[in-house]
Chain A
Amino acid sequence: MALITVKNLSLGYESHTVVEDLSFSVDQGDYLCIVGENGSGKSTLMKTLLHLRDPIGGKIVMGDGLKKNEIGYLPQQTVVQKDFPASVREIVLSGCQARCGFRPFYNAEEKKMAEENMERMGIAELAGRCYRELSGGQQQRVLLARALCATKKILLLDEPVSGLDPKVTAEMYELIAGLNKEGITILMISHDIASAVHYCSHILHIGAVKFFGTKEAYLKSDVGKYFLLQQEGGEK
């Protein structure tokens, strides 16, 4: 059974619908990239998948024993975080919070997990540093390590490379691809369609025209061709 199955999902706000009749499924190990124009409902879709808001219609089924709370999430950075006095270790450890339930303090196992994930993201030597003094790329690695503390199965990434320079962006994509090879399912929202197509296995295009399928099929489809062309034109 698929990890996540979405059937006839409709999303939107009180009065108007943003996305209608959306269906797709994600299997263990997939790397799904969600693309579409601004305002096409990408972020709304992600919030719905995270159970932060309710869909207007349709349903989301979690399979393979995936629990609601086992989704790791890399949100876009908020203003609050820009001057938050916190060390890298404190932030990564906070990813384990959901595991704690009502237990007030982190146990040894959770602390070990935080150390391992910092190691995995190559930020172990930054553990004692202050988050707000790090570069954009390092901050994303910290948040990624935190997300990994919350999940072993699936990561939802919301524009993980926005605001990063090209070199750091490439490193970030490699890092994410590496996690995918380790067996973690990736769902990523991206503006950067060219790179997205390079790394992902499946594409979900939402907007006026919808598409869901493998990357290869997308590149051959009309919507894919048109969107890629438009993006290239926009960048030049």
Chain B
Amino acid sequence: MLAKISTYLEFPIVRYALIVGILIALSSSLLGVTLVLKRFSFIGDGLSHVAFGAMAIATVLNLTNDMMIVMPITIISAVLLLRTGQNAKINGDAIIAMISVGALAFGYLIMNIFSTSSNLTGDVCSTLFGSTSILTLTIKEVWICAILSILVVLIFVLLYNKIFAVTFDETFSRATGVNAGLYNLVIAIVIAVVIVLAMNLVGSLLISALVIFPALSAMRLFKNFKMVTVFSAVLSVICAFLGMMISILAGTPVGSTIVAADVVAFGLCSITGTLTGGRK
């Protein structure tokens, strides 16, 4: 088995995939805790569908670098969702559901009508489930992913205390003069970036899993915010690494294998948490 792994690792493409996968897993797990606690879990889901729609447009336009269009559209949607989620007549959940299925439908429609590709189902499937795209990254895409992931981690570390304050009690933060609106905006933008990145790894339907599973697992075991954050990052990286390794060895699709690893980890954490009384 080790021989097989080392043969695979000789291909630069596999090495890139591993590096990018681990970076993406790290950055996507960081905001998970905030999303879960702010009851924003569904925003990740909604945004990933928007990203799918944007991806469809990019595919049809035959852009060489589809991030140019996917990234701005997703960021704008994130900002709008966060805005309207707070003071809209239709409540946040309904809006997110509307936008996500709408984007999904239009994305598929556009691809169907305009696509020049001979393998339409394959294209759609790989955008939704990220089947092989992680292994077909160009060196340029690897760099973009790496830089963006590092940027996300950096922003998170610098804003860690502010994100904590705003997540725990937004009203108090506002009342004492913390610019909560600004930090919410930053959180929204970072989520959008993470989702576009994670789309490369697990595909748009499975992104939420990458974002919330590590956070939920960590919350079963730990009782303070710092440990929860650190553990969910570590867990996410481990699961991504294991998932990618298994998928290489067993020939399973990358995205779903990683998510399966996350689910198993969640199960283990829940059991451990219950046994040790880690969570009431």
Binding site for A on B (CB under 8 A): 33, 37-39, 157-162, 164-165, 167-169, 171-178, 219, 222-226, 228, 280
Contact = CB atoms under 8 A, between A and B. Distances in A.
A147 B176 CA distance: 9
Contacts of B165: 94, 97
A94 B108 CA distance: 45
A51 B177 CA distance: 9
Nearest to A86: B225
B175 A87 contact: no
Contacts of B158: 104
B224 A85 contact: yes
Contacts of A108: none
Contacts of A85: 33, 219, 222-225, 228
A218 B197 CA distance: 63
Contact of A106 (B161, B219, B222, B224): B161
Specify the main secondary structure of chain A where it touches its partner. mixed
A83 B167 CA distance: 12
Contacts of B168: 80-81, 84, 86, 91, 94
Nearest to B221: A85
Interface string A61-72: 000000011011
Contact of A69 (B39, B162, B177, B225): B177
A56 interface: no
A73 B176 contact: yes
Specify the main secondary structure of chain B where it touches its partner. helix
A95 B176 contact: yes
Interface residues of A, number: 38
B16 to A, nearest CB: 32
Given A86-B224, A87-B224, A90-B164, A97 B176 contact: yes
Contact of B169 (A69, A81, A87): A81
Contacts of A75: 169, 171-172, 175
B225 A52 contact: no
Nearest to B227: A85
Nearest to A130: B223
A130 B175 contact: no
Contacts of B162: 97, 100, 104
B224 A104 contact: no
Contacts of A52: 171, 174-175
Contacts of B161: 93-94, 97, 100, 104-106
A1 interface: no
**Most chain-B CB neighbours within 10 Å: which of A69, A86, A106, A146?**
A86
B177 A73 contact: no
B226 to A, nearest CB: 7
A133 interface: yes
Top 3 A-B residue pairs of the complex, sorted by shortest distance between their CB atoms? A69-B177, A130-B223, A87-B224
A73 B37 contact: no
Contacts of B219: 83, 85
Contacts of B37: 80, 83-84
A200 interface: no
Contacts of A95: 172, 176
A215 to B, nearest CB: 27
Nearest to B157: A104
A71 B160 contact: no
Contacts of A86: 164, 168, 224-225
B157 to A, nearest CB: 8
Interface string A141-177: 0000011001100001000000000000000000000
Contacts of B223: 85, 87, 129-130, 132-133
A18 interface: no
A98 interface: yes
A129 B226 CA distance: 13
11 contacts: A52-B171, A75-B169, A80-B37, A84-B225, A85-B222, A85-B224, A94-B168, A98-B173, A98-B177, A100-B162, A104-B162
B232 to A, nearest CB: 10
A162 to B, nearest CB: 16
Nearest to A77: B169
A15 interface: no
